Structure 1
Amino acid sequence: MKIVILDGHALNPGDISWAGFEALGEVVLYDRTANDPAEIIARIWDAQVALSNKVPITEEILAGCPNLEYVGVMATGFNQIDLAACAKHQVTVTNIPAYGSEAVAQFTFALLLEITSQVALHNASVKQGDWQRCPDFTYFVKPLMELQGKTIGMIGYGAIAKEVAEIAHAFKMKVIYWNHRKKAPQAPWASQVSLAELYQKADVVSLHVPLFPETEKMIDQAALDQMKTGAILLNTSRGPLLEEAAVAEALHSGKLAACGLDVVAQEPILADNPLLIAPNCWLTPHIAWAAVETRARLMGIGVENLARYLEGQPQNVVK
């Protein structure tokens, strides 16, 4: 069996092993593959298995790859896969759900704690000599914020949001959430509210919804207008959830106190993205999922998905 990994570098730049897949067949590894049907077809036309993180698999590609029978998405999101075309060509598609809930929740709070405690700013200040020259035993460059008693509002209430809620509760924050359908709270300290009420009450708004047509650009001018002045916005979900120009303007005007964003609408980020020059905007390059332990877990689930498929007992099949 020929297994082609189309874009392996993001998952494994060299610090974890492909041995699990190598035990299942002949592995051909590409660090990156262009979003070009001709290049994709040239690489997988004779393969039975294609593994993709972000490389698209479309009707055109499937028509040129008659041997392909399995597409393993090496991530949770599968927007890049034409599921109807895969069904037509009898190609099984699997993904890897819930491999990194704890890691993404941890990173969500890393962004929030950086915004509220300004660790990097003060570390840089000390190292450039400001503390040595200070007449007092202490000083602060920017005001710091205590989280206790603040309200965090989570948009979406899946596995990651529930992990964030647990951490927020440990910081003695009030926890509210909105979900598109009714969900039982995990504890008496979390309560479901309307989206309008969440915007009105939350000191911190954290996004945890998938990207669908109805959620694209949901954080637009109308949503921002409903939020508290001075709220903090966090996004470790999907970049296109934001109307980025509106969010940048809200940072410039002070409507938003700060943003912590691990994702943007187009990745890699474009040089003219307005968030790059917006004040109090922390940007990281889509790394909430990327702890070495998390990527190793993802790899292991990907291997198990393919092994189970070969055994005739597929799991995590996307339909």
Structure 2
Amino acid sequence: MENSKKIVVLDGYTLCAGELNFDALRAFGDVTVYDRAAQADVARLIGDAQIVLTNKAQITADVMAACPQIEYVGVTATGYNIVDVAEAKRRGIVVTNAPAYSTQAVAQHTFALLLESLNRVGAYSGQVRGGAWQASADFCFFSEPMEEIAGKTIGLIGFGHIGQSVAKIALAFGMNVLVCVPHPKAGWDDVRFVTLDELMKESDVVSLHCPLTEENRRMIDEKAIARMKPGVRIINTARGGLVDESALAAALESGRVACYMADVLSEEPPVHGSPLLEAKHAILTPHVAWAPLQTRRRLMKIVVGNVEAFVKGDPINVVSR
């Protein structure tokens, strides 16, 4: 193919876990897909490719120095903190992301976690299968406390596409919605924009929907938890680094936090001894909120569209300007 590019896909398994493929990229060049890429091997796997797609493998300044022919890095996700964007900009490398592809899926997962905490569906199902209901003398078998979602106050830290979708669902459930963002958004008369301190003091549920930055790393720490209501529930479908996991595990053990529900951890996959793995009242899922098949199809369409736009000289979804 004349003027075709060499394209390398790192950690392709994340997006294509059996049902999808990257064949559409072959219209733009010679494509090599690696299911997984250890960080130590990233530069070697990229080789002399001009186009690199990555989901978790980091494209650091050292990687860019080792692979000076890189012209484009496409992050197959919305968050792009795995790329040294400042260094990419300095080198004239275009970096793109995939915005808004998982909005509904992550909002749905947020409430799947919250409803599990409130309704204890998994615990009850396990007890029924284990024979506890059969052994009961009563028509209804009560072993787990349950709570209504209506009337509770949920505080959203971050109010992008996902945060707004969560707010809509929360309002439909009859929840009160507080939002903490630097700039309140027009058209949201049913929510209340508040300071972070107000949100923490008033919320029954605190839900994180903000990007991870150096400024907010471990923002949910011992001091923050102390400002929250006793028995607060905390949801994290954003980034694991937003919480101090040791402080949170201690708060779960003491009962200060009633439940922590997360689809993300600070280290993924977690290592043995990670403080939240053994903490009581922690509901953890393995970074799958974004991953329904329909969502991944949407993501693939965006990823291919980003590459096509770059090859044609008019890149879209650029985060390195």
2:248 maps to 1:247? yes
* Partner Cα separation in structure 1 for residue 234 and residue 59 of structure 2: 33
Amino acid of the structure 1 residue aligned with 2:15: L
Partner of residue 75 from structure 1, selected from 55, 74, 77: 77
**CA–CA separation in structure 1 for the residues paired with 2:297 and 2:104:** 14
3-state DSSP of counterpart to 1:306: helix
**Partners of 1:238 and 1:107 in 2: how far apart?**
14
1:9, distance to aligned residue in structure 2 (A): 0.7
Aligned equivalent of 2:38, options 22, 34, 38:
34
Partner of 1:294: 295
The Cα of 1:56 is off from its aligned counterpart by: 1.5
Work out the CA distance in 2 between the residues paired with 1:89 and 1:155.
34
Identity of aligned residues (%): 45
Task: Note if contact 1:45-1:68 (Cα within 8 Å) is conserved in structure 2.
Answer: no
Structure 1 spans left out of the alignment, 5+ residues:
none
Tell me which residue corresponds to 2:319: 318
Q: Which amino acid aligns with 1:221?
A: E
Q: Which amino acid aligns with 2:155?
A: G
When structure 1 is superposed on structure 2, of 57-66 and 209-218 the one drifting more is: 57-66
Q: 1: CA distance between counterparts of 2:49 and 2:284?
A: 38
When normalised by structure 2's length, the TM-score is 0.96
Contact map agreement 1:203 1:228 (CA 8 A) in 2 = yes
Distance, in Å, in 2 between the alignment partners of 1:186 and 1:102 is: 20
Does residue 214 (structure 1) correspond to residue 218 (structure 2)? The answer is: no
- For 1:17, the equivalent position in structure 2 comes to 21
| Counterparts in 2 of 1:185 and 1:274: CA distance versus 1, 3 Å | farther
- Measured after TM superposition, the shift of residue 84 of structure 1 is 2.5
User: How many angstroms does 1:185 deviate by?
Assistant: 5.0
Post-superposition CA distance 1:134-159 (Å, at most 9, x none): 11111122100101111000011111
Provide the secondary structure at the position in 1 that maps to 2:303: helix
CA distance in 2 between counterparts of 1:27 and 1:131 reads: 56
Q: Which moved more, 1:267-276 or 1:14-23?
A: 14-23
For 2:164 and 2:205, locate their aligned partners in 1 and report how far apart those are by CA, in whole Å: 15
Other structure's SS at 1:120 match: helix
Letter in 1 for 2:280: P
Aligned to 1:54: 56
Cα distance, 1:245 vs. partner? 1.0
- The answer to whether the 8 A contact 1:2-1:47 is kept is yes
What amino acid does structure 2 have at the position aligned with 1:226? R
Aligned to 1:115: 117
1:100 to 102, 106, 112: 102
- Displacement of 1:186: 4.0
Deviates more, 1:18-27 or 1:253-262: 18-27
Corresponding residue for 1:163? Answer: 165
Q: Name the Cα RMSD after superposition.
A: 1.2
Are the equivalent residues in 2 in contact too, given 1:185–1:192 (CA < 8 A)? no
Unaligned runs of 5+ in 2: none
List structure 1 runs of 4+ shifted beyond 3 angstroms: none
Aligned length: 316
SS of residue paired to 1:15: coil
Question: Secondary structure at 1:133's aligned position in 2?
Answer: coil
Give the CA deviation at 1:274.
Answer: 1.3
For 2:81 and 2:238, the matched residues in 1 are separated by 14
Give the SS at the match of 1:131.
Answer: coil
